[in-house]
Each structure stands twice: as C-alpha cells, then as structure tokens.
C-alpha cells in the first residue's frame, strides 16, 4: 500500500505531466516572437519593455507587459532564459542560457524551425486521435487530416516548406558532429546518394568536406522543386520504393524511422541494389537508437519521438538495436556497426552480404 508521501508524489507527477504542454507552448511563443534574437541583438541582458520595443508590431496593449512577464517567468523556471533583479533600477533583466542559444536564427545550430514544426497545430491535431486509433485502428495523422502526411505535404506548399525548414535545421545541427566523429567513414567513397535528402543540405556539406565525393540528392520531385543548386551535388527526382540511383554508398538521415518494417525492407532492398556493383558498398543510416530504460542525454527524447512517429507517419517508429538488427538482416545486410556521435541520432553502417 502506498504511503501518504508516495501518494502525494504520484499526484504531483500527474499534475506536472498534465501541464507539460504549457512549457512547449511558452517555448513556441518565445520563438515566434524572436525573443532569443532580441536579447542577443542587444548584447546584454534586457528588460521586458526593451523586448516589447523590439517586437515587429504597430499596436500597443496594456496586456503586453503582463503577458510577456508571465511567459518569461515560466521560461526562466525551465532554464530557457536567465533572469536577474536589479535593486537599483527595480527592474528584472533577462539573458540567454545555453538552451536559448540553440534558438538563435543567425546561428547554424538553430532549432527554432524544428520547434515551430513539431508544435504546429497541423502536427498536434493527430495526437488528439490516439485513443481512437488504439480502440479502432487506423493512422492518427490520416484520422486528423483525411490523408497521410506525405500526401498532405505534396498538396500543401506551406506545410511542405515548414517540413523542409525543420529537416534542414536538424541536418545543420547533426552534420558537424557527424563529419568530425565519422570522417573516416567517407574514405574510399567516390559517389554517394542521399536518399530522401530533402533540399540537399546534408549531401552538400558532406561533399564540401570530402571533395572527392560526387553527391546525388535523391527525393520526390515536389521536394526538389525548392532545392537550391549545390556545388558537386546533382538533384535527382524519383521514388525510393521504386529504385535508387547507383552509387558507392547510400546515406539516409531520419528516413527509416518514418516507415514500418515492411516498407523499410523495400527501401533497404533498393539501397542494396543501388550499391550491388560496388565491391565495398555500404548504407549509412543516420537514425535514432531507442533505449527504453536508457539514461543517456537523448534517451527521453527518442522515446518521445517514438510516439511522434506513431502520430505522424504510416507505421514509423524508433527502433532498438535488436529491431534494427532484424530489419537489416531481413534486407540482406547481415553486418552492421553502430557509431555513437554527439547528436540526437546515431550512425548505423550496414554492409550487404557478399555476392556468391
């Protein structure tokens, strides 16, 4: 039987979980208002009136100071911002923290587009259908919007832009630790195809760091329609479920977690065909490793993203090492290496079975 103290702790935890969405919405509000950039532009801690005077608004409301003070108070408690009360001026000054520095738009390490993406009403709506899907089956995103996410993106340029911006910012954050901690992994590769490469950010950075590589950015035509030209990179439109351009190696970032096992086997099988003529061909998978009981830096977030995949995709999920091994074996990749990097995802090198 629970003690009175244990019971109270349980109640506290439910209240905290119940109100956790408020933290996310306050964070989104700060990003939408550009508060990290406003503080950074002053080069010093600033007051609420100074933040308000920097907002791109032509209206003034007596509620503005009250609203923003309360929002900032919560975000200070969550260590997104820091605050210090100055007794001489009787004012509170707000400053950046290591967390809010990841939200600066001028920085390449900028998570703001991803914040705006995952907290957009389009992507929150499917979560409200989860209980119904558990009882009745079906896909949360499709129940919420009438179509699967990829069809929604194809028909909705605004959503497609939101998605591409989020993927680009994630790539820019992942690419530096990958190029440093996996730099030897690109040795001996003359041609590399980035499957589902979006607007080409990742393959362009890889080619820039490894000029000996000919880069191929492979994605759906509507995605490539907004892709800029990149030195050493060729944009090729197509469907990874049909075929993939031939290359020495294939790289995929956050692609397989979007799909169920059956679809992943199709994609990986096409990857295997794409490198079949190469003696030392391999597939480089940049994706998360799910550790349900792990206490690593990103383990909680990976567990949360497993439900994000459930809500947004057609059978997508984060996978444990055992699940990755089964998936790779089923696709003709009996050998693999896992390389941990200082980023959200890991790198999984997959090697095909030798030809008979």
By annotation, the residues acting in catalysis are 257
Q: Are 321 and 334 in contact (CB under 8 A)?
A: no
Three-class SS state of 92: strand
**b/e code 117-156 from CB counts within 10 Å (16+ = b):** bbbbebbeebbebeeebeeeeebbbbbbbeeebbebbbee
To which H or E segment does residue 249 belong? strand 249-253
CA atoms within a 13 Å half-sphere pointing along the CA-CB vector of 273:
12
Separation of alpha carbons 159 and 145, rounded Å: 12
Structure tokens, 209: 């760091």
Separation of alpha carbons 347 and 76, rounded Å: 34
**b/e code 215-242 from CB counts within 10 Å (16+ = b):** bbbbbbeebbeebeebeebbbbeeebee
Q: Are 154 and 165 in contact (CB under 8 A)?
A: no
Helix/strand number for the chain, H first, E second: 16, 9
């Amino acid at each position: 039987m629970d003690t009175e103290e244990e019971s109270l702790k349980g109640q506290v935890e439910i209240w905290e979980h119940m109100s956790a969405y408020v933290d996310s919405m306050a964070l989104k509000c700060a990003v939408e208002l550009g508060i990290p950039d406003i503080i950074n532009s002053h080069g010093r801690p600033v007051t609420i009136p100074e933040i308000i005077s920097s907002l791109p608004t032509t209206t003034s409301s007596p509620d503005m100071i009250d609203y923003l003070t309360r929002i900032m108070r919560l975000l200070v408690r969550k260590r997104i911002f820091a605050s210090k009360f100055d007794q001489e001026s009787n004012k509170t000054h707000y400053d950046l923290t290591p967390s809010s520095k990841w939200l600066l738009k001028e920085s390449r390490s900028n998570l703001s587009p991803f914040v705006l993406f995952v907290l957009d009403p389009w992507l929150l709506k499917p979560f409200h259908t989860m209980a119904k899907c558990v009882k009745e089956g079906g896909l949360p995103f499709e129940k919420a919007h009438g179509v699967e996410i990829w069809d929604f993106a194809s028909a909705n340029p605004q959503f497609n832009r939101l998605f591409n911006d989020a993927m680009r910012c994630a790539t820019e954050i992942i690419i530096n630790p990958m190029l440093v901690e996996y730099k030897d992994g690109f040795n001996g590769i003359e041609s590399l195809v980035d499957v589902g490469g979006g607007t080409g950010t990742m393959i362009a950075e890889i080619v820039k760091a490894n000029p000996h590589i000919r880069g191929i950015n492979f994605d759906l035509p509507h995605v490539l329609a907004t892709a800029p030209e990149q030195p050493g990179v060729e944009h090729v439109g197509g469907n990874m479920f049909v075929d993939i351009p031939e290359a020495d190696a294939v790289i995929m970032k956050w692609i397989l977690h979007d799909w169920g096992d059956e679809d992943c086997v199709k994609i990986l099988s096409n990857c295997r065909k794409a490198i079949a003529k190469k003696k030392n061909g391999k597939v480089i998978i940049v994706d998360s490793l799910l550790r349900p009981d792990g206490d690593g830096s990103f383990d909680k977030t990976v567990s949360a993203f497993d439900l994000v995949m459930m809500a947004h995709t057609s059978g997508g999920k984060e996978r444990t090492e055992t699940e990755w091994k089964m998936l790779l074996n089923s696709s003709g990749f009996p050998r693999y290496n896992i390389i941990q990097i200082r980023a959200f995802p890991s790198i999984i090198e997959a090697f095909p079975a030798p030809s008979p």
